[in-house]
Amino acid sequence: MLEVGEVGREASWAGGGIVSPLYPWRYSSAVSALAHWSQDFYPRFGEQLRLDSGVDPEVHVTGLYWLDLEDEERALQWAKEQGRPLGKVAMETVYAAIPCLGAGFERAICMPDVANVRNPRLLNALKALLKQLPNVKIVEGSGVTGFLRDGEKVRGVSTNNGDMKGSRVLVAAGAWSGELLAKLGVELPVEPVKGQMILYKSAEDFLPSMVLAKGRYAIPRRDGHILVGSTLEHAGFDKTPTNEALESLKASAAELLPALAEAEVVGHWAGLRPGSPEGIPFIGPVPGFEGLWLNCGHYRNGLVLAPASCRLLADLMLERSPIVDPAPYAPAGRLG
């Protein structure tokens, strides 16, 4: 496992950790299929990680309220068709459940079983577990500079630490995946999309549920930390946090949860999402390059789609019956 920097310090670390697409009804069935599988998988996965690694990723079931949605009816119809537990909630019920919520919201829908996971802890747990496995080697500080080829076969990679060979090569480099494939003359439509977040610290019982309005969300952690995000910026590979985004996020925080107007921002950071057409990831072999595989381009849903994406990839590599139809994610026909 080669990592140009430190494992788990890019988009996986920077995201909010909601175990659901922000607006699941706005995505294709391809995204929904992976999301549903992962959502069902995460609770037991989190507990198993805690037991095996000694690090608790804090899979925290809080539910999620969407407030004053423009496409509320579409969301409710999607839930009915998909059999998902999403429904209308009276605003007096919402304000009773979330006393800290800002005034003026008029409509709400809620999915009560949505969880969030604490990204850095999830990644630390995964890293600790991988280090215990005898057949896994993590090589950090190892940037890939090119691919080793034998005719049409890809047989490894060149790195700043020398050549590394293998019968199969998997590109799972997030926003940088397109740059890597370009070394082979392949146009992979994955590009960086910057997102900024801020973090507050409050009482542990301050915010009992996740809330989302006007494209911004607040996520409670078990220890009282509150994440508010996020921006959507096309700024290349620049990850510099900006004052403009800070003030915008603080304004959203104060509108959602007025008590945060007087609270101190204890963290502000940016990450790069791997943007892709319709947010549908690329999972499978690259045509014309035997031995080369992709698992990238998850855009805003990397964390929620990750377990299902990895399971699907393993199914395809091991020629097992796949958990979902692999056709929508296949690189064939989607690359330039």
Note down pLDDT in tens along the chain; length 336 residues.
Answer: 999 999 999 999 999 999 999 999 999 999 999 999 999 999 999 999 999 999 999 999 999 999 999 999 999 999 999 999 999 999 999 999 999 999 999 999 999 999 999 999 999 999 999 999 999 999 999 999 999 999 999 999 999 999 999 999 999 999 999 999 999 999 999 999 999 999 999 999 999 999 999 999 999 999 999 999 999 999 999 999 999 999 999 999 999 999 999 999 999 999 999 999 999 999 999 999 999 999 999 999 999 999 999 999 999 999 999 999 999 999 999 997
Which parts of the chain fold into alpha helices (H)? 11-14, 29-53, 72-82, 91-97, 119-132, 177-182, 243-256, 302-317
223, 215 Cβ separation under 8 angstroms: no
**Bridge-partner residues for 158, per DSSP?**
146, 163
Rounded CA separation 34/301 (Å): 10
The arrangement of strands across the sheet holding 144-150 comes to 144-150, 153-159, 162-165
CA angle, 251 then 255 then 256, to 5°: 120
Looking at residue 327, the DSSP 8-state letter turns out to be: G
The arrangement of strands across the sheet holding 282-285 comes to 169-171, 292-296, 282-285
- DSSP E strands: which ranges in the chain? 2-3, 60-61, 64-67, 87-89, 108-111, 115-116, 139-140, 144-150, 153-159, 162-165, 169-171, 191-201, 210-213, 216-220, 225-229, 265-275, 282-285, 292-296
Q: What is the pTM of this model?
A: 0.95
pLDDT in tens, 231-290: 999 999 999 999 999 999 999 999 999 999 999 999 999 999 999 999 999 999 999 999
Rounded CA separation 153/166 (Å): 11
Rounded CA separation 271/61 (Å): 24
Q: Which residue segments constitute the domains of the chain, with CATH numbers given?
A: 1-63+113-190+277-336 (3.50.50.60)
What per-residue confidence (pLDDT) applies to 336? 76
- Reading the block at residue 113, the tokens are 């079983």
Closest CA to 272 of 196, 219, 206: 196
295, 170 Cβ separation under 8 angstroms: yes
What per-residue confidence (pLDDT) applies to 185? 96
- Reading the block at residue 144, the tokens are 């890939």
CA dihedral 92, 105, 217, 24 (to 10 degrees): 80
Closest CA to 136 of 166, 179, 103, 100: 166
Rounded CA separation 333/188 (Å): 11
